[in-house]
């Protein structure tokens, strides 16, 4: 399936799911978070379980013109207690994914990764973003721009596995994966090129069936069929890539910001690799920036 | 001085120089190279010394409708001999910069860096690009996206020195320099952040007077005043940066390609750090892509 834009993904999640997904919002007493969650509920995308100081949450909902009875509200005295409660709900399988509210990321992740939580899968947690680039014909995945700083080969393998599983859950099938580097050849002075070649070779051996993996490959070859034609690069990937895998976090962060601030792209990311996705947007961002990650998380979590 | 676009740089080089600069083209028997050089000559940007097989060069010039007497032609039997001859011309100071024609990059650089050449300065050679991003108000420098793979702190210092000297020669005065990373804080797990902080500190101590250096800094803070305002980042740099310094080549290569292929940017680069600049464009590119680096090299080389 191809998503030309985030709008088509929103439609698919709203109209396509067998049932509405439920998000557990940790320390929900936060204006922008509640606003995004309320909009997603009104749009038919999800139901929400709001965890935190119930009185405060009710007051904020009233201020937003929302009816408290449209939400499940779970009282928790502080952010750490709220995170613990969310971990229990994940274990009980009464929620489909988790969103960070007014809680420190470290406190949230500690609760999620505790042995009492139902979150642990033994897999690496990694960051997965979807990006809408104005001059590209479909949404494109990007990983890992936010969690793993300088992953080694084994970690890169898990990052790709996490992202491919996520893309399949969203409906990209089969995903075409580019392992980005600055060139197409292995350069012994650039370990990332050797790692990319190793992952491509692994895939030829059947690592991720039904999935095209190519690399090392440069950004222009991944994104532009014309560029690949000029350079005589033969692959189904150029101009039709679904997932860009960056060699390390600084490449990913700077690439994503260049796309957002210089190419007019929109983007939204989630944390994957746990049993359910986690929405970890910054507390500083507006409600609008918290909405799209909710849509992605809802589209990823299984029926 | 601000250059809103490459056109304004072309005008400045054409109208502002005390005398026309002279390029030495190494193995000039190449169609696209001759086309670019001939256009730059006709535009009043430079004069050219074409080194290579004189008969072949004359035939190609005739095919382009150019008069052979408009150029100095220096006969050389093969590309290696042409490169040696260019190195001699640099030593004699009869040419202002060098351009690669139909010669291997390694052969050209070997001749340039030989002890008989006048090219060596004891400095690191590095790559410097100018980029025209449609939604940014001026040309912006970018270094090093093509030569030094993973520079250490001492090499980064030289890369910045080379680029700042180049920008000043072009007319950016004083340049505002961003040492790009994925965040604004030093992270012990990311050596590039510590290196950026060290260079910023060096500059506070007077390293490059009349030059603002800031880092580590993220791409959005460097390029967007609005983003800096939201994050409370106080510096003269956000939204008005002149030079982006990337932590390693893969960041630079992928950033530049994202700007070109996804943000509609144009770019052109030269090699700096030698006594004269070197234009090293790929043999595959069209004449148009060989023209702008000639303009940049002509603007950089001293009167």
pLDDT tens column, B137-146? 999 999 999 9
Rounded average pLDDT over B170-199: 95
- Are both B67 and B48 inside the same structural domain? yes
Number of helices (H), then strands (E), belonging to chain A: the values are 11, 11
Give B47-69 as a DSSP string.
EEEEEE-HHHHHHHHHHTT--GG
Distance of alpha carbon B224 from alpha carbon B255, whole angstroms: 16
Residue B103 included in any domain: yes
- The pLDDT value recorded for residue A97 is 96
Average pLDDT, chain B: 94
CA A200 → CA A103, A195, A197, A220, B89, distances in Å? 39, 9, 5, 18, 47
**Does the pLDDT value for residue B285 go beyond 90?**
no
Tokens of A290: 């918290």
Residue A96 included in any domain: yes
- The pLDDT value recorded for residue B176 is 97
Average pLDDT, chain A: 94
Q: Which of A152-166, B16-30, B114-128 has the highest mean pLDDT?
A: A152-166
Report the relative pairing of strands B126-132 and B266-272 from DSSP bridges: antiparallel
A17 in contact with B, Cβ within 8 Å: no
Rounded average pLDDT over A161-180: 95
**Does the pLDDT value for residue A278 go beyond 80?**
yes
- Are both B91 and B147 inside the same structural domain? no
Chain A CB contacts of B135 under 8 Å are 262, 264
Residue A284's pLDDT band (boundaries 50, 70, 90)?
confident
CATH number at residue B46: 3.40.50.10950
What are residue B237's phi and psi, to 5 degrees? -85, -45
Residue B100's pLDDT band (boundaries 50, 70, 90)?
very high
B287 CB burial (10 A radius; 0-12, 13-18, 19+): middle
A231 in contact with B, Cβ within 8 Å: yes
CATH number at residue A250: 3.40.718.10
A62 in contact with B, Cβ within 8 Å: no
- The pLDDT value recorded for residue A22 is 97
- Residue A218 is nearest to which of B230, B251, B257, comparing CB atoms? B257
CB interface of B with A, residues 19-48, below 8 Å: none
Interface test with A, best of B257, B267, B282 (most A CBs within 10 A): B257
Residues 6+ apart with CB under 8 A from B65: none
Give me the domain span that covers residue B233.
126-267
Torsion of CA A270, A273, A275, A276, to 10 degrees: 0
Tokens of B282: 């790929």
- The pLDDT value recorded for residue B303 is 60
**Does the pLDDT value for residue B279 go beyond 70?**
yes
- Are both B185 and B279 inside the same structural domain? no
**Does the pLDDT value for residue B14 go beyond 80?**
yes
Rounded average pLDDT over B6-21: 89
Rounded average pLDDT over B22-39: 96
Range list of H helices, B172-301: 191-204, 219-223, 225-230, 249-262, 287-300
- The pLDDT value recorded for residue A132 is 97
Rounded average pLDDT over A142-168: 97
Residue B1 included in any domain: no
| Residue whose C-alpha is closest to residue A23's, from A41, A49, A45, A44 | A49
B262 in contact with A, Cβ within 8 Å: yes
**Does the pLDDT value for residue A116 go beyond 90?**
no
| Residue whose C-alpha is closest to residue A255's, from B150, B244, B253 | B253
**Does the pLDDT value for residue A151 go beyond 90?**
yes
- Are residues A254 and B136, on separate chains, in Cβ contact within 8 Å? no
pLDDT tens digits for range B150-171: 999 999 999 999 999 999 999 9
- The pLDDT value recorded for residue B4 is 95
- The pLDDT value recorded for residue A115 is 82
Residue B121's pLDDT band (boundaries 50, 70, 90)?
confident
- Are both B170 and B222 inside the same structural domain? yes
What is the nearest CA distance from A57 to chain B, expressed in angstroms? 26
- Are both B157 and B194 inside the same structural domain? yes
Ranking A238-247, A284-293, B128-137, B209-218 by mean pLDDT, the lowest is A284-293
What is the nearest CA distance from A210 to chain B, expressed in angstroms? 27
- Are both B142 and B254 inside the same structural domain? yes
Residue A156 included in any domain: yes
- Are both B204 and B252 inside the same structural domain? yes
The residue in chain A having the minimum alpha-carbon distance to the alpha carbon of residue B189 is: A149
- Residue A284 is nearest to which of B219, B230, B253, comparing CB atoms? B230
What is the nearest CA distance from A193 to chain B, expressed in angstroms? 10
The residue in chain A having the minimum alpha-carbon distance to the alpha carbon of residue B232 is: A284
**Does the pLDDT value for residue B217 go beyond 70?**
yes
- The pLDDT value recorded for residue B111 is 93
pLDDT tens digits for range A32-90: 999 999 999 999 999 999 999 999 999 999 999 999 999 999 999 999 999 999 999 99
What is the nearest CA distance from A82 to chain B, expressed in angstroms? 27
Residue B293's pLDDT band (boundaries 50, 70, 90)?
very high
A259 in contact with B, Cβ within 8 Å: yes
B253 in contact with A, Cβ within 8 Å: yes
B260 in contact with A, Cβ within 8 Å: yes
- Are both A154 and A69 inside the same structural domain? no
pLDDT tens digits for range B219-238: 999 999 998 998 889 899 99
- The pLDDT value recorded for residue A302 is 67
- Are both A91 and A171 inside the same structural domain? no
ipTM of the complex: 0.94
- Residue B262 is nearest to which of A150, A230, A263, comparing CB atoms? A263
Distance of alpha carbon A216 from alpha carbon A239, whole angstroms: 16
A136 in contact with B, Cβ within 8 Å: yes
- The pLDDT value recorded for residue B302 is 67
Residue A236 included in any domain: yes
| Residue whose C-alpha is closest to residue B182's, from A194, A105, A253 | A253
**Does the pLDDT value for residue A256 go beyond 70?**
yes
- Are both B146 and B263 inside the same structural domain? yes
- The pLDDT value recorded for residue B120 is 83
- Are residues A255 and B255, on separate chains, in Cβ contact within 8 Å? yes
**Does the pLDDT value for residue A303 go beyond 80?**
no
- Are both B248 and B188 inside the same structural domain? yes
- Are both B73 and B147 inside the same structural domain? no
Residue A1 included in any domain: no
Total domain count, chain A = 2
Distance of alpha carbon A193 from alpha carbon A202, whole angstroms: 14
């Amino acid at each position: 399936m191809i998503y030309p834009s985030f709008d088509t993904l929103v439609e698919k999640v709203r109209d396509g799911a067998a049932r509405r997904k439920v998000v557990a919002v940790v320390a929900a007493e936060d204006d922008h978070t509640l606003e995004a969650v309320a909009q997603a509920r009104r749009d038919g995308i999800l139901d929400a379980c709001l965890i935190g100081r119930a009185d405060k949450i009710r007051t904020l909902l009233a201020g937003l013109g929302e009816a408290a009875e449209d939400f499940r509200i779970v009282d928790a005295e502080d952010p750490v207690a709220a995170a613990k409660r969310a971990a229990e709900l994940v274990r009980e399988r009464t929620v489909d994914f988790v969103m960070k509210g007014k809680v420190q990321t470290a406190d949230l992740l500690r609760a999620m990764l505790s042995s009492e939580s139902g979150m642990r899968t033994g897999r690496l947690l990694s960051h997965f973003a979807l990006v809408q680039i104005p001059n590209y014909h479909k949404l494109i995945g990007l990983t890992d721009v936010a969690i793993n700083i300088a992953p080694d080969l084994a970690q890169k393998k898990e990052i790709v596995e996490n992202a491919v599983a996520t893309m399949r859950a969203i409906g990209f099938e089969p995903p075409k994966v580019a392992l980005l580097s600055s060139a197409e050849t292995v350069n012994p002075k650039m370990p990332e090129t050797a790692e990319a070649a190793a992952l491509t070779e692994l895939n030829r051996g059947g690592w991720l069936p039904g999935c095209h993996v190519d690399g090392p490959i440069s950004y222009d070859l991944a994104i532009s069929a014309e560029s690949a034609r000029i350079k005589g690069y033969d692959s189904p990937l150029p101009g039709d890539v679904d997932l860009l895998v960056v060699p390390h976090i600084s490449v990913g962060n700077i690439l994503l910001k260049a796309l957002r601030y210089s190419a007019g792209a929109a983007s939204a990311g989630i944390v994957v690799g746990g049993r359910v996705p986690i929405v970890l947007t910054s507390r500083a961002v507006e409600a609008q920036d918290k909405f799209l990650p909710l849509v992605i998380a809802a589209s990823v979590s299984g029926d």
